[in-house]
A and B are shown apart, each in its own frame.
Chain A
Amino acid sequence: DQQVKQNSPSLSVQEGRISILNCDYTNSMFDYFLWYKKYPAEGPTFLISISSIKDKNEDGRFTVFLNKSAKHLSLHIVPSQPGDSAVYFCAASVIQGAQKLVFGQGTRLTINP
């Protein structure tokens, strides 16, 4: 029962271009969504989040879009930089519920010079 899915295991983008990472979810109870970045042998690092009352949240080069009707969110990174090469996880939660995060499988982003 995979409630959060990242269907692209990997993505390769040229430096300076836009990276778009996608995530789909099935549980309509989710009302808070997060993106994490993870380097090998390190823990996930929080990037950006969005509440279900919004459809967009922006922080510097990172923007998250939420389409509730499609149960889809995406992370846009622009411009992409070599240091952005990592595995990106989306996660979802129910604020008033169990408070645990449900993670997708991750997408490995590689930024090519």
Chain B
Amino acid sequence: NAGVMQNPRHLVRRRGQEARLRCSPMKGHSHVYWYRQLPEEGLKFMVYLQKENIIDESGMPKERFSAEFPKEGPSILRIQQVVRGDSAAYFCASSPQGPYGYTFGSGTRLTVV
């Protein structure tokens, strides 16, 4: 029973490039959440998706960031024109229903150089 799978584990991008982070939820989980953790801080909610729908994107920066969870395939968090301040650990979580059974992936560590 595979957990939440995130790839890549580490991603290095130059300023101005695009970053694509992938998340495959646990089998049977239809709710996907993305969180960001800046150094020495807690996790901050970014976006909540169900299949083909964005339910809550109140934590997403207004520009350059987008997320999707297509009918087939993993959820994607996309950051366009990355800047140094985007360097962080990005965690995906999935659940079968709301905060119950919330399971996190191992994260993608994005470094912008």
Contact = CB atoms under 8 A, between A and B. Distances in A.
A99 B48 contact: yes
Interface residues of B, number: 27
A94 B91 CA distance: 20
A101 B45 contact: yes
Interface of B: 4, 6, 31, 33, 35, 40-45, 48, 55-56, 58-59, 91, 93, 98-99, 102-107, 109
Chain A contact residues: helix, strand, loop or mixed:
loop
B58 A98 contact: yes
22 contacts: A6-B42, A32-B99, A41-B107, A42-B106, A43-B4, A43-B104, A43-B107, A44-B91, A46-B103, A93-B98, A98-B48, A99-B48, A99-B56, A99-B98, A100-B48, A100-B56, A101-B33, A101-B43, A101-B45, A102-B45, A103-B44, A106-B42
B31 A99 contact: yes
B81 to A, nearest CB: 26
Nearest to A98: B56
Contacts of A45: 104
Contacts of A32: 99
Interface string A74-113: 0000000000000001010101001111111110000000
Interface size class of A (residues with CB under 8 A): 20 to 34
B44 A43 contact: no
Given A43-B4, A100-B48, A89 B99 contact: no
A44 B48 contact: no
Nearest to B101: A46
